[in-house]
Structure 1
Amino acid sequence: MRRTIAILTGATAAALVVPVLVAAGPASARSAGNARGTQNTQNTQDARGTAGAATDPVSALKRHFRPHRGVRISENTKIIGRGGKQRTILTRRDGVLEFGTFGPVASDLTTKFTMPTENGELKGLFAPSRTISLKGVTYTSGGAYADAMPEGKKWLRTRGESVTLVGPVQQIISIVEPATLKATLARTAAKRPGGTWDDTRTTVHSGTITLAELYRASPAIRTMLGRKPTGPSATLPVTWKIYLGSDRLVRRVVSSYTESTRGLNSTELTYVNDTRYTGWGMRSALTAPPADQVADFDELNIGADQAAQAQNPVRELFEN
């Protein structure tokens, strides 16, 4: 029971999908504009000054690992079902990643879903949610368990988890991890002008990296998968584009991969993620929600049938 619940919380409703990448097969993107106020512009200028001396993207990233500084992210993800179920789920995740001396230490992220109209009773599992993660504790408001919260409580607390940066419906290439950024860029196959993002001209690097290579480089991927990918899943190709500014900081990442299962209900899902990074070096001081608004698992009013139903809601949506 508690194992099922753990799958459903963590990094908001965006982590609802049980990782199926450990049994996958082979595998595209979208653009949008950006805007921000005077404070973000000043933060960006400060960030460029800080990273101005950096000669490579990893060094530029590490220069921003300072307490109470961070970056704003905005992600759009499409999950596309193939075969008999030509459905598409759209998700949007926005918020702030806060850094410490060695990398991300906190996050405040809001997730929203746009679902196919015929999703029926699964709709409640994809309700909008906000998640704050810091000091090994994650607080989730809204989402799948909003109706199960005790009276007067708004936040569900889960302990023992570090900041969760990657989930199956989030950006699989975590460029705030120096090793991941380095390993991915080492697989660059082409470079070209990438346009202007976050008020800076960019160069877009593109290529392909396998799931096994990401597993070796990325702590977030190792946490997400739980075990080393083997067989066909190890060679699963993740295609990517990374947009680097003139200050060598990442402004945009687009990735895609396709996973498939073979069995009674064979399913093929393609994940396409487009993430924007703005306001590098912005000030951030995230705090936990008020203690009197927080509840733990053992306080929830959850039926066994509700937990069982939600084991893998995304795959269920495409199979049924």
Structure 2
Amino acid sequence: MRRMIATLTGAAAAALIAPALVAAAAPANAQPARASAQPAQTDPVSALKSQFKLHRGVRLAENAKIIGEGKKQRAIFNRRGGVLEFGTSGVVASDVTDEFTLPGADKELKGLFGPSRTITVKGTTYTSGGFYADSMPEGKKWLRAKGGTVAPGNPAQQILNPLEPATLKAALAHTATRRPGGTWDGARTVVHSGTITLGELYKVSPTVRALLSGKPSAASATLPVSWKLYLGPDQLVRRAVSSWTQSLRGLTSLDMTYLNDSRYSGWGVKSAIKAPPASQVADFDDLVLGEEQTEDPFVRVFKD
């Protein structure tokens, strides 16, 4: 399959999102730990920080959908799951798998969006499968790239990251309603809901800054992100739902809506994520590239 790997690095999400948002001047195999009894916390941010311990983490199960208007309305579905490992200041490593579903897409596109596994550790991301599978040199399985906040090629990942204390605090400051949220991960929850602007998220969230790769324009900074956070009696997040819409009109004549539903379970799970064996790792300079494909594959889905 012919690809342009250079556009599908850890900034691949920005290739779809950033152009319409950034100002013109801006350039798994973890075993669960026995849940320990915790007193109820009145402060969700403090409750989150109390989980930041070496070799402990939380399980992630994420479902997302990108809806776009091209020649016809089409959607991309994404399922992502694995383990996020904490250090003393937040998430320091992750081991997640990604799988995309593209209803009605041609065989080539479906192959391009094949399943992938991504390991991020010590600021470096290693990806196996997905965009890079048939461009890897013989005997190599993992593609290495620096930076690991954003999963490669996944613009539908959770834009409001509730595992960042500053982001969690900023979102909850915009709480408009509270109500019973049902039971998640065995805990009865209260769902807090509200909206926050993209500009506000950019100021506090490393995830959003990595995703956009530049400061939002004045117009884009006002885009509302709707959110719901389901908090258990220990004030830990069990579910986070977010949605937002951006216009790519003038670039691709598309309006794109991103819907994300992330579930967090097994708080305190034991984890010791390691980088893949060096003998199986390749860098971008090692890739066997064919003819360039200059059009972003996510956009192409909606134009076909």
CA contact (8 A) 1:19 1:225 kept: no
- The one of 244, 249, 252 aligned to 1:257: 244
Judging by fraction of residues, say which structure has more helix.
Answer: 1
User: Taking structure 1 as reference, are residues 16 and 223 closer, same or farther at Cα in structure 2, changes over 3 Å only?
Assistant: closer
What SS does the corresponding residue of 2:227 show, helix, strand or coil?
Answer: strand
User: Taking structure 1 as reference, are residues 191 and 236 closer, same or farther at Cα in structure 2, changes over 3 Å only?
Assistant: same
Alignment of 1:1-320 (within 5 A): 5=5, 7-10=7-10, 15-16=12-13, 18-21=15-18, 23=20, 40=32, 43=34, 45-46=35-36, 48-49=37-38, 52=39, 54-82=41-69, 84-159=71-146, 161-164=147-150, 167-263=154-250, 265-306=252-293, 308-309=294-295, 312-320=296-304
CA contact (8 A) 1:188 1:206 kept: yes
Summarize deviations over 1:80-132 as a string: whole Å, max 9, x none: 12364211110000011100011111000100011122334322221100000
Letter in 1 for 2:42: T
Offset at residue 293 of structure 1 (A): 1.1
CA contact (8 A) 2:194 2:228 kept: yes
In structure 2, distance between residues paired with 1:264 and 1:140: 29
Long gaps (5+) in structure 2: 22-30
Offset at residue 304 of structure 1 (A): 4.1
In structure 2, distance between residues paired with 1:169 and 1:135: 24
Identity %: 60
User: Taking structure 1 as reference, are residues 186 and 7 closer, same or farther at Cα in structure 2, changes over 3 Å only?
Assistant: farther
Offset at residue 257 of structure 1 (A): 0.7
Summarize deviations over 1:174-229 as a string: whole Å, max 9, x none: 11100000000111100000000000000000111110010011011112112211
**Between Structure 1 and Structure 2, how many residues are aligned?**
291
CA contact (8 A) 1:65 1:99 kept: yes
Which deviates more, 144-153 or 179-188? 144-153
User: Taking structure 1 as reference, are residues 175 and 165 closer, same or farther at Cα in structure 2, changes over 3 Å only?
Assistant: farther
What SS does the corresponding residue of 1:20 show, helix, strand or coil?
Answer: helix
CA contact (8 A) 2:189 2:231 kept: yes
Offset at residue 273 of structure 1 (A): 0.4
Letter in 2 for 1:314: F
In structure 2, distance between residues paired with 1:17 and 1:64: 30
CA contact (8 A) 1:17 1:313 kept: no
What SS does the corresponding residue of 1:246 show, helix, strand or coil?
Answer: coil
User: Taking structure 1 as reference, are residues 249 and 267 closer, same or farther at Cα in structure 2, changes over 3 Å only?
Assistant: same
In structure 1, distance between residues paired with 2:185 and 2:251: 47
Which deviates more, 207-216 or 223-232? 223-232
Summarize deviations over 1:264-295 as a string: whole Å, max 9, x none: 74101111100000001111000111111111
What is the TM-score of this pair, normalised by structure 1?
0.85
In structure 2, distance between residues paired with 1:153 and 1:139: 12
What SS does the corresponding residue of 2:110 show, helix, strand or coil?
Answer: helix
Letter in 1 for 2:297: P
Offset at residue 16 of structure 1 (A): 4.8
In structure 2, distance between residues paired with 1:162 and 1:83: 31
Aligned to 1:33: none
Segments of 4+ moved more than 6 angstroms: none
Letter in 1 for 2:101: T
Aligned to 1:30: none
CA contact (8 A) 1:17 1:314 kept: no
In structure 2, distance between residues paired with 1:137 and 1:88: 30
Letter in 1 for 2:150: T
CA contact (8 A) 2:10 2:148 kept: no
Letter in 1 for 2:45: V
Offset at residue 258 of structure 1 (A): 0.9
Offset at residue 19 of structure 1 (A): 4.2
CA contact (8 A) 1:104 1:163 kept: no
- RMSD, aligned α-carbons: 2.0
